[in-house]
């Protein structure tokens, strides 16, 4: 573990962390700012949780839009990716004639959200299987063509899939949706702070995700981006539900903790420092080292190099079960995401941050080798 970088985080000494992609990791600087803001609010909550709060949330949203190079009027902060996705699925005009397509590599709760929405409307939901490793955009499109007949209304895909860590070919998938008469909905949970997003979100009608996975924000902080023609309301009806302004509409979901959103500026400032001094780029280089090390112990990447995210990789491990691997890593104080793929295979996902170094890679590969040799 990089001892200089570890001083910027509250991680326990001796812990090898490769799993910030699940929950994120707040920096000590952001935690301190959050505590300062909390003391200020609690000094006079009647004042600080009123109109003043909406103004401050607007300023934070505008800053996020600036850093992500997105139009502020089309962006709002919200609780998390799940709440943003719920707002979308509750707002789309589904009917018994509608067809929604979701990839089997999508996050489980997002697939379930579309199941619930389609069941209420009597719409058709089709889950398309995407085989790994993903080798080309043409293969992904061909898989959709084989499995999906006729027009579609909505296609739900991830910019980067969660458990399989595949940077999907979004331009090709967007084009496929348009050709089938449908619209694209993006799960961008793993994009902000990890890779750039285009201003038009590849022609999507809506995108949702989080900031707390790849920026050092307090958790949770979600976001929702909308095409100008798509009107979305929060899933919960609150005092600001009817506001014509997108940011204000999501600014008050009932009484909530605003501190994670109010301290976003501190987290973004620190992330920009890491970007400027090359530490994020060094993390990307380290991730490529992980590829070589994992392949060296016979792990199989879930995608060809062009579809691997900059700082997150997933591998299939044979001759071991997910529970066995999870237990082995836990006992060694190594934190990584371990689970099952869609075919029941054992998946290991590793995400790098500025506190990781090659010693961490040696630790995880050595531990896996120990288990495989038993």
Three-state secondary-structure class, residue 104: coil
Six token digits for residue 104? 């089997």
Residues comprising the chain, all counted: 374
pTM: 0.94
Predicted confidence at residue 7, as pLDDT, reads 86
Percent share of the chain, pLDDT over 70: 100
Give the pLDDT score at 3: 65
Secondary element (H or E) of residue 184: strand 183-187
The pLDDT of residue 228 is 79
Q: pLDDT tens for residues 193-223?
A: 999 999 999 999 999 999 999 999 999 999 9
Mean pLDDT of the chain: 95
* Phi, psi of 292, deg, nearest 5: -65, -40
Tens of pLDDT, residues 84-104: 999 999 999 999 999 999 999
Q: Is the pLDDT of residue 329 over 70?
A: yes
Closest CA to 107 of 178, 186, 177: 186
The values of phi and psi at residue 235, to 5°, are -65, -30
Measured CA to CA, the distance from residue 33 to residue 50 in angstroms comes to 20
* Ordered alpha helix ranges (H), the chain: 3-6, 20-23, 28-43, 45-48, 51-68, 81-91, 108-121, 137-147, 170-179, 246-249, 259-262, 264-276, 279-296, 322-331, 358-372
Q: What element of type H or E holds 340? A: strand 337-340
Mean pLDDT for 139-154 is 96
CA 190 – CA 362 distance, rounded (Å): 25
> Which tens digits make up the pLDDT trace of 258-279?
999 999 999 999 999 999 999 9
């Amino acid at each position: 573990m990089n001892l200089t970088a570890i001083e910027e985080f509250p991680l326990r000494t001796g812990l090898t962390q490769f799993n910030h992609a699940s929950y994120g990791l707040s920096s000590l600087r952001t935690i301190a700012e959050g505590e300062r803001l909390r003391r200020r609010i609690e000094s006079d909550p009647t004042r600080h949780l009123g109109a003043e709060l909406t103004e401050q949330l607007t300023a934070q949203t505008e800053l996020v839009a600036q850093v992500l190079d997105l139009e502020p009027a089309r962006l709002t902060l919200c609780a998390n990716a799940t709440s943003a996705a719920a707002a979308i699925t509750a707002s789309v005009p589904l009917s018994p004639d509608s067809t929604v397509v979701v990839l089997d590599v999508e996050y489980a709760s997002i697939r379930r959200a579309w199941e619930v929405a389609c069941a209420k409307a009597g719409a058709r939901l089709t889950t398309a299987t995407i085989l790994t490793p993903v080798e080309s955009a043409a293969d992904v499109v061909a898989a959709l063509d084989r499995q999906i007949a006729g027009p579609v209304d909505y296609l739900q895909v991830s910019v980067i899939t969660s458990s399989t860590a595949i940077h999907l070919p979004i331009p090709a998938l967007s084009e496929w949706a348009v050709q089938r008469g449908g619209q694209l909905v993006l799960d961008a949970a793993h994009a902000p702070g990890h890779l750039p997003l285009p201003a038009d979100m590849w022609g999507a009608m809506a995108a949702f995700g989080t900031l707390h996975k790849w920026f050092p924000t307090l958790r949770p902080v979600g976001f929702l981006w909308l095409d100008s023609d798509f009107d979305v309301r929060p899933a919960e009806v609150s005092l600001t539900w009817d506001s014509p302004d997108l940011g204000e509409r999501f600014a008050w979901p009932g009484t909530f903790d605003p501190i994670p959103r109010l301290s976003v500026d501190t987290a973004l400032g620190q992330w920009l420092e890491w970007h400027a001094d090359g530490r994020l780029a060094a993390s990307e280089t380290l991730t490529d080292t992980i590829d070589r090390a994992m392949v060296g112990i016979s792990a199989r990447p879930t995608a060809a190099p062009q579809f691997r995210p900059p700082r997150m990789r997933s591998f299939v491990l044979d001759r071991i079960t997910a529970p066995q691997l999870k237990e082995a890593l836990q006992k060694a104080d190594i934190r990584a995401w371990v689970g099952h793929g869609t075919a029941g295979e054992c998946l290991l996902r590793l995400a790098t941050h500025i506190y990781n170094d090659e010693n961490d890679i040696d630790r995880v590969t050595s531990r896996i080798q120990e288990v495989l040799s038993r």
